């Protein structure tokens, strides 16, 4: 720590000729209306000024600090300094094991919502938590370990089914969290592209096992950095990835790990994130399993070894395809990919987690589900809190997606692989003649032996989730879905959309998925 050590005068006066102000390389300056504002580490003198100011004027109005206190800092800097270092009751020092546990649990629920997580950890700042988490990610990705301990996955999974109080340690149950107004659903879409280069295996275990313990995490996207690092790790070690996959993590990776890390090794398997490192140095991460001929592994575009430059930075919603003109084969996997970073359809609790997981459709469905669930409880609040704002998938993303979706409906569009055309192409028949959708789906062979077959030529299926699961057997609820989607996309659009989507989406929700089927039914050659 350098704060308060360098270049401060003991009398508390700011020294304008100090290296702090002169060394712009290190400390910088910013201009604010002709006033040069200081940047870089705070001195204790500055701290004192700020503390004094807050004592007199209270928190807030941070831009006034500079005007009234003579502190040459911008308001943002003042706020940050106060919040992270000067405000009372701040805890300093390492996180306790209990705090760490809470952070992990919270992150599993919330994702990178540091400020919210901080609210659950008195005396801790979002910055601290963020730093801790990032460090943790690095550490674990280097070791090829999952981010979340198995117990947590299991616990969450069980809670999802039992509707038991959440793992927050109390203040909010899982459902409360998911449904409360202030719960903001995880933002998977941001990261859904990251993993393009690191396509996970389709786990060989049933959905109720692996998937729900890993992919089923609302925050699965947080796993992405680890996956990125995982290959790196293997490469650095010059060890085949299969050492950790095929036999899968029977042995702990050769790292001297903290105990919690070690005990989480076993989770690596249960996460189902198993890869084979391509021994031929074609640098693909190949799924370990009976069928390695996964199309989006072999089309180059998704080659694991060469992460698309910028892929990790892409902040497109999962359904906002780039207009690359590369055709359907490029985009289908994206959808596919996004799907696998979404909560697992068949295993999701009835409380249906967030829309954040896989983009537009799930956002829509989430909304629909909200409508459906609340039946008599629906209020504008749901809509506004779920859809309207910012860091939620809903808001801008949804709008954007809607726009794109509309634009892509044209089957003649260059983006013929887009949602719209895909829906048109791939949607199973909607129920008619009085049969329920579920019956229809079974009749039409969409559900085979209680297993959901998956056809990756069907991006609509890819996009699906379980959120309409309940709706499928209820025409009343179905109308909620339709209505909700209609209301979100506009009536005309919504009607068309929901009618077609509903059926295919439900395909995913009606039974637990046996993922063994995936490679078998998802061949590149199957794609149109």
Q: Which of 7, 77, 199, 265 touches DNA (CB under 7 A)? A: 77
Comparing CB distances to DNA, the nearer of 312 and 460 is: 312
CB of 247 to DNA, least distance (A): 26
Nearer to DNA (CB atom), residue 112 or residue 465: 112
Tell whether residue 127 is a contact of DNA (CB under 7 A).
Answer: yes
Examine residue 381 and tell whether it contacts DNA (CB under 7 A).
Answer: no
**Does the footprint of DNA cover residue 395 (CB under 7 A)?**
yes
Separation of alpha carbons 509 and 517, rounded Å? 16
Q: Nearer to DNA by C-beta: 128 or 362?
A: 128
Q: What gap in Å lies between CA 18 and CA 11, rounded to an integer?
A: 14
- The partner residues of 31 in beta bridges, in order of sequence, read 36
Q: Please, which of residues 138-167 interact with DNA by CB under 7 A?
A: 138-139, 142
Using the contact rule CB under 7 A, the part of the chain among 76-84, 203-211, 291-299, 320-328 near DNA is 76-84
Window of 36-44, 202-210, 424-432, 436-444 that interacts with DNA by CB under 7 A? 36-44
Q: How far apart are CA 395 and CA 387, in angstroms?
A: 5
Q: Does 79 bind DNA (CB under 7 A)?
A: yes
Residue span binding DNA (CB under 7 A) among the ranges 57-65, 205-213, 464-472, 480-488:
57-65
38, β-bridge pairs:
29
Q: How far is the CB of 521 from DNA (least distance, A)?
A: 34
Rounded to the nearest 10 degrees, how much is the dihedral formed by the CA atoms of 20, 23, 26, 30? 80
Among 45, 81, 318, 466, binds DNA (CB under 7 A): 81
Nearer to DNA, 385 or 421 (CB): 385
From candidates 190, 241, 463, 472, binder to DNA by CB under 7 A: 190
Q: Which lies closer to DNA via its Cβ, residue 65 or residue 522?
A: 65
Long-range contacts of 392-395 (CB under 8 A, 24+ apart): 392/184, 392/185, 392/187, 392/355, 392/356, 393/185, 393/187, 393/188, 393/189, 393/317, 393/354, 393/355, 393/356, 393/359, 393/362, 393/363, 394/355, 394/363, 394/367
Tell me which stretch binds DNA (CB under 7 A): 280-288, 329-337, 389-397, 427-435: 389-397
The answer for 153, left when phi > 0, alpha when psi is -120 to 50, beta otherwise, is: alpha
Q: 275 by DSSP, 3-state: which?
A: strand
Go through 312-349 and write b for each residue having 16 or more CB atoms within 10 A of its CB, e for each that does not: bebebbbbbbeeeeeebbbbbbbbbbbbbbbbbbbbbb
Member of 40, 295, 317, 353 binding DNA (CB under 7 A) = 40
Q: Based on CB atoms, which residue is closest to DNA, 38 or 334?
A: 38
User: E strand or H helix at 35, and its extent?
Assistant: strand 35-38
Q: How far is the CB of 315 from DNA (least distance, A)?
A: 8
- Residue 455: which of 355, 402, 523 has the closest Cα? 523
**Does 89 help bind DNA (rule: CB under 7 A)?**
no
- DSSP single-letter state for residue 79: H
Q: How far apart are CA 329 and CA 332, in angstroms?
A: 5
Residue with smaller CB distance to DNA, 114 or 268? 114
Interface residues toward DNA, by CB under 7 A: 1-3, 6, 25-26, 28, 30, 38-42, 60-64, 75-77, 79-81, 84-85, 93-94, 112-116, 126-128, 130-132, 134-135, 138-139, 142, 190, 313, 389-391, 395-396
């Amino acid at each position: 720590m350098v704060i308060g050590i360098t270049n401060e005068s003991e009398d508390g006066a700011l020294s304008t000729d100090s290296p702090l102000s002169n060394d712009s390389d290190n400390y910088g300056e910013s201009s604010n209306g002709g006033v040069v504002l200081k940047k870089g580490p705070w001195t204790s003198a500055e701290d004192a000024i700020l503390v004094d100011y807050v004592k007199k004027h209270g928190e807030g109005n941070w831009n006034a600090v500079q005007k009234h206190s003579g502190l040459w800092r911008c308001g943002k800097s003042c706020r940050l300094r106060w919040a992270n270092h000067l405000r009372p009751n701040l805890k300093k020092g390492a996180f306790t094991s209990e705090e760490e546990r809470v952070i992990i649990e919270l992150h599993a629920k919330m994702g990178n919502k540091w400020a919210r997580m901080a609210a659950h950890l008195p005396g801790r700042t979002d910055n601290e938590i963020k730093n801790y988490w990032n460090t943790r990610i690095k550490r674990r990705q280097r070791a090829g370990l999952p981010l979340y301990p198995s117990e947590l996955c299991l616990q969450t999974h069980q809670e999802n089914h039992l509707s038991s109080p959440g793992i927050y340690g109390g203040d909010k149950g899982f459902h409360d969290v998911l449904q409360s107004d202030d719960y903001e659903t995880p933002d998977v879409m941001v990261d859904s592209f990251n993993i393009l280069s690191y396509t996970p295996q389709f786990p060989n275990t049933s959905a109720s096992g692996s998937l729900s313990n890993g992919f089923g995490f609302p925050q699965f996207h947080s796993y992405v950095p680890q996956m990125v690092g995982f290959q790196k790790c293997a490469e650095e070690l010059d060890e085949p990835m299969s050492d950790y996959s095929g036999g899968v993590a029977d042995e702990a990776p050769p790292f001297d790990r903290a105990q919690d890390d070690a005990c989480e090794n076993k989770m690596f398997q249960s996460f189902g994130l198993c890869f084979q490192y391509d021994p031929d140095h074609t640098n693909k991460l190949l799924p370990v399993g009976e069928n390695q001929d996964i199309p989006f592994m072999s089309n180059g575009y998704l080659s694991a070894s060469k992460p698309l430059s910028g892929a990790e930075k892409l902040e497109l919603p999962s359904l906002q395809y780039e207009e690359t003109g590369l055709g359907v084969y490029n985009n289908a996997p994206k959808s596919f990919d996004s799907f696998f970073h979404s909560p697992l359809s068949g295993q999701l609790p009835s409380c249906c987690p967030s829309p954040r997981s896989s983009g537009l459709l799930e956002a829509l469905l989430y909304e629909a589900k909200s409508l459906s669930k609340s039946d008599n409880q629906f209020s504008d609040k749901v809509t506004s809190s779920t859809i309207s704002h910012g860091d939620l998938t809903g808001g801008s993303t949804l709008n954007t997606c809607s726009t794109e979706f509309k634009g892509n409906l044209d089957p003649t569009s260059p983006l013929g692989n887009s949602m719209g055309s895909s829906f048109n192409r791939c949607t199973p028949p909607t129920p008619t003649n009085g049969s329920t959708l579920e019956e229809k789906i079974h009749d039409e062979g969409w559900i085979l032996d209680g297993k959901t077959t998956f056809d990756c030529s069907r991006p609509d299926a890819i996009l699906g989730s379980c959120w309409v699961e309940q709706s499928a057997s209820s025409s009343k609820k179905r109308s909620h879905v339709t209505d909700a989607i209609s209301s979100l996309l506009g009536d005309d659009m919504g009607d068309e959309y929901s009618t077609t989507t509903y059926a295919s989406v439900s395909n995913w929700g009606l039974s637990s998925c046996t993922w063994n089927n995936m490679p078998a039914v998802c061949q590149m050659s199957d794609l149109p």
